[in-house]
Amino acid sequence: MLIFFDETFRASLSYPGATLGALCGVAIPEKQLHRVADDVFRLKLKHFGNDFAREKEIKGKELLKNSIFRLAERGIESRNLALAVDLLDYLHRKHLYVFGCVCFEKGMQKFQCDDVRALDMTFRYVFERIDMFMKIEFKDRMAKLVFDDRDYGINQKNAEAITNFFQRSAVGLSLDSILKTPFFAISQSQNIGLQLADFVTTVIGMRFSSHPHSKKYFEMLNKCFYFYQYNGRRVSSLKVLRGKPARD
């Protein structure tokens, strides 16, 4: 199982001075990756034609940018929004689950491990949810974590902190459904997993920054979160760390 991740960092539109970071990912069975890439290619072809489908990557900030919403308010149909709806519908129909952490706490919302001996709780919350998902749905498989390439120094520290967590901590050792070494890739190489991760991360970031046009798209994406029971409570694959005071 491949889990592709991306990040977004936003200012809240409802609370001046409040900011958030979101690290979100899409789970795609490795054997289905080629089929997913082909299906998404056909959706891009449907809305934007051959050149876009072959050469352009999906970027959430482009599909869901403010100028597009202003045109829609004037009754002008948008290929961007039509593709966004088709992508969300596709994720739901194909049971491609979404995982993530939204963090309002300023000290942890960069998803950047400065101390390689201590993994940030934001990462831990996401990994715990992925491990439970794998143990329930895919007992005989391992999850492979694929992160969007950032800065080399950030990648290096995050990779070392993640590996140390899985190999040296009691909690990490118990999450034995996840491969202990993360991978890093770039979306520009037509990596459809990272492009879908970018898209869902944009939708989630818009929702929790109180973007006025996010409701419809987040409600569709909400169908892609994985829910399970743990110690008598219902747990979502999206963890929200609201900080103090609570936001949104």
How confident is the model over 202-211, as pLDDT tens digits?
Answer: 999 999 999 9
Provide the CATH number for the domain around residue 180. Answer: 3.30.420
Distance CA 240, CA 75 (A): 35
Q: Which residue has the higher pLDDT, 185 or 61?
A: 61
Is residue 114 a part of any domain in this protein? yes
pTM recorded for the entire structure:
0.91
Question: And the tokens for 106?
Answer: 């300023």
In this predicted structure, the answer to whether residue 163 has a pLDDT above a threshold of 60 is yes
Is residue 247 a part of any domain in this protein? no
Comparing CA positions, the residue from 204, 236, 235, 198 lying closest to residue 219 is 204
Is residue 126 a part of any domain in this protein? yes
Is residue 41 a part of any domain in this protein? yes
In this predicted structure, the answer to whether residue 126 has a pLDDT above a threshold of 70 is yes
Q: Which helix (H) or strand (E) holds 7?
A: strand 2-11
Output the pLDDT for position 7.
92
Average pLDDT score, the chain: 90
Is residue 248 a part of any domain in this protein? no
The whole-number average pLDDT for the span 30-55 is 95
Output the pLDDT for position 189.
64
In this predicted structure, the answer to whether residue 238 has a pLDDT above a threshold of 50 is yes
- Candidate from 36-40, 63-67, 121-125, 188-192 with smallest mean pLDDT: 188-192
pLDDT in tens, 94-123: 999 999 999 998 777 677 777 777 677 888
By the 10 Å C-beta count (0-12 exposed, 13-18 middle, 19+ buried), 170 is classed as exposed
Is residue 246 a part of any domain in this protein? no
Owning domain of residue 164: 2-241
Distance CA 183, CA 45 (A): 29
Is residue 34 a part of any domain in this protein? yes
Output the pLDDT for position 109.
63
Distance CA 120, CA 111 (A): 7
Angle between the N-to-C axes of helices 79-93 and 66-73, in degrees from 0 to 180, rounded to the nearest 10 = 110
Cα angle 98, 37, 45 (rounded to 5 degrees) comes to 110
Q: How confident is the model at residue 52 (pLDDT cuts 50, 70, 90)?
A: very high
Q: What is the 3-state secondary structure (H, E, C) of 180-221?
A: CCCEEECHHHCCHHHHHHHHHHHHHHHHHCCCCCCHHHHHHH
Distance CA 148, CA 114 (A): 18
> Per the structure, how many domains does the chain have?
1
